A and B are shown apart, each in its own frame.
Chain A
């Protein structure tokens, strides 16, 4: 708005102070407004939010934009340290060093995402990051998510993370470390992917007992060097568990068994080429989803292990099995003799086909074994997931639901999901 006072025109409300001829004023004012720097006018918090999805290198480079941006990077609460924009690992390490040492250490740091695909020359950049986190009080108290992907990097300071009181999510990918128990009380989600652990001689390996608040655990393709016989997962609050491709001394060691103490488990996924021996003292009464994706050998040993696993997971409502399971069961129907159906409250059953084929025939004995134990559940019809009357919901929704398990990839797998309906009766 413009008010006239004397010969000069002023803009109201403290906008750009423009002195000039009346007739041009509107035009100039609009032009000026158009050229206004709206990005820098956003509060720090919003700019931080915007920068939180951009890698740290770019954020630091933005310090040359203008005065306002000069030091914004020093107070970023989210650090994305990726080496993909660096051609040289040494430069990347120096950069990380620089960023950490020149960061404003009195501001909160909530998230650190570190990704390095190159062979790190010295390999202690990860340790230096953990040291920074644990040595800087503000950071130790404010860090919530730590994600480290460091190809073949040996990390020594993992135990120090127990000092972090707010750390709720920890992702470790491809690192090598000693198998010391994770003692992070605040931890809710732990993802270990492609890692190598050096274990001692103990018979029982229990890495998670001290993470009393752990809700989600995902162990994918981890290798444990050691002589343990039992891998224990003791997590009283755990609701989501996913195990795949677990290896001991780089092999599938069928002597090893996996002990579960997870009374509140709601979701269990397993994927491998063979089945470990599972045991659980308590019934998993809260179990909702049970997914198994294995390519069974055509012999009875693995089948027996699998059947034992079914017994443990019998309360599941939503079961997804791979077709090879059905095939091997069909091959050895005698194994099913004398066994009652493991599933007692089956609601939905899906078959994951890894190659599109015409159809999977489920012999009656197998059907009786799988479905016979669930009252009110009987075969209604096969439904193609992609058919129009799919009441399961959007295929996209289905895929999102499974996106939590990295090794189930409906996008890559051409699924003809055969859905058997629960006919409410």
Chain B
């Protein structure tokens, strides 16, 4: 039956208004065009013929309160207009989700029950941005989550660099297993490193093993054996680690430029900032620990070399901490420049190296952008 047929046979179905009933029992009239933007409502109207009068008002799912319905209708009212540009829509969306988290959760739930996928995506992503990068306490605070786990250790909630994902005091066999796994890995690495060192004795003090870094990081809670054997190498490790960190950051920030169409530049810099933050705090951490360690070290390093290393480490940490914002700007803008330098007369390798390290936006195939340069990707 075509629409026109339906109009002739049942003129009241083409009325511009639809009746909706919300969870609290109240009934309201809504422009049909707007309400039809919600798949669930659309279904009710077309398949079941509901909503044409007050008596047969469409009963909305329980999760849709009047306040949420009002918000959702605002959203629909804006987006169902076909003539809007993507830019306008995005801008509207950004403003739209600037509501308190309580309502954001409710909105997600309501949109989900109405099967309004674009809005669910929007709100889910907004919630993800809120959650991401926060400590558990902060998350609990924001969302009023009950603190009902039997034991929660502070260690776990602290510096992300502490690392073991489930490092807490509950006697979880999985955690024990994981710790064993780590300890085993450390031992293996140490073994390997020692063999390597035997062969290459002139290795510069700077190139200490990752293993030493590992033990160092976990030095606080871990295997005392680990600490003792690697005490001597602490300072050098630290330096190497910071160096490693800065190069991996550099790369991370470069590859962060994955979204070429630039719509996520804001997002990218937030991402990069986050990396910056964690590494920053780590650098400070190390720095503080250096102070602490000074007292009880009995390492066999030649004091002159030790001093030199100390100075270098301190210098590096200071540099890392101080010119971070400038360097970030540099990375971000150099990322842009690299793209303009697609073609220079100079030669292939340079071009290739600097050609967009951009990842195609595979997200186009699915509805979920992954983070940052991150990415994107999930079919749901």
Contacts and interface: CB of A to CB of B under 8 A. Distances in A.
A84 interface: yes
A20 to B, nearest CB: 20
Interface in A393-408: 393-394, 396-397, 399-400, 402-407
A104 interface: no
Contact of B248 (A51, A54, A118, A173): A118
Contacts of B338: 412
A413 B362 contact: no
B149 A64 contact: yes
Given A36-B144, A394-B87, A70 B360 contact: no
B302 interface: no
Given A60-B166, A403-B261, A404-B361, A98 B178 contact: yes
Given A49-B120, A193-B359, A409-B358, A397 B343 contact: no
Given A82-B374, A97-B181, A171-B362, A37 B143 contact: yes
Given A50-B124, A64-B136, A98-B181, A117 B255 contact: yes
Interface stretch (B26-34, B103-111, B197-205, B306-314): B103-111
Interface in A227-279: 244-245, 247, 252, 271, 273
A386 interface: no
Nearest to A1: B24
A167 B276 CA distance: 35
Contacts of B374: 53, 80, 82
A87 B156 contact: no
A244 B360 CA distance: 13
Interface residues of B, number: 99
Interface string B139-158: 11001111111001000110
A117 B370 contact: no
B370 A411 contact: no
Mostly, the B contact residues are helix
Contacts, number: 286
Nearest to B123: A50
B252 A94 contact: no
B61 interface: no
B146 A37 contact: yes
B284 to A, nearest CB: 14
Given A42-B108, A111-B377, A407-B355, A67 B148 contact: yes
Contacts of B290: none
A404 B85 contact: no
A69 to B, nearest CB: 8
Contact of A121 (B178, B210, B360, B377): B210
Contacts of B245: 87
B152 A64 contact: yes
Interface string B275-310: 100110010000000000000000000000000000
B109 A42 contact: yes
Interface string B42-64: 00000000000000000000000
A55 B127 CA distance: 14
Contacts of A324: 343
Size category of the A interface is 35 or more
Given A87-B161, A403-B261, A53 B156 contact: no
Given A87-B245, A117-B248, A53 B125 contact: yes
Contacts of A28: none
Contact of A244 (B145, B178, B355): B355
Nearest to B278: A85
B360 A191 contact: yes
B261 A293 contact: no
A77 B336 CA distance: 34
Contact of B377 (A147, A295, A397): A147
A144 to B, nearest CB: 5
A52 interface: yes
B328 interface: no
A424 interface: no
B368 A52 contact: yes
Nearest to A61: B165
A334 to B, nearest CB: 24
A205 interface: no
A46 B371 CA distance: 17
B217 A42 contact: no
Given A52-B368, A151-B251, 4 more contacts: A42-B108, A54-B131, A66-B149, A87-B282
Interface of B: 85-87, 101-102, 105-106, 108-109, 112, 120-121, 124-125, 127-128, 131-133, 136, 139-140, 143-149, 152, 156-157, 160-161, 163-166, 168, 174, 178, 181-182, 185-186, 189, 210-211, 213-214, 217, 241, 244-245, 248, 251-252, 255, 259-262, 275, 278-279, 282, 336-340, 342-343, 345, 348, 351-352, 355-362, 364-366, 368-371, 374-380
Closest 8 CB pairs of A and B: A412-B339, A38-B105, A403-B261, A406-B358, A295-B343, A39-B143, A411-B262, A60-B165
Interface of A: 34-43, 45-46, 49-55, 57-58, 60-70, 77-78, 80, 82, 84-91, 94-95, 97-99, 102, 110-111, 113, 117-118, 121, 144-145, 147, 149, 151, 168-169, 171, 173, 188-189, 191, 193-194, 218, 220-221, 244-245, 247, 252, 271, 273, 293, 295, 322, 324, 354-355, 393-394, 396-397, 399-400, 402-407, 409-414
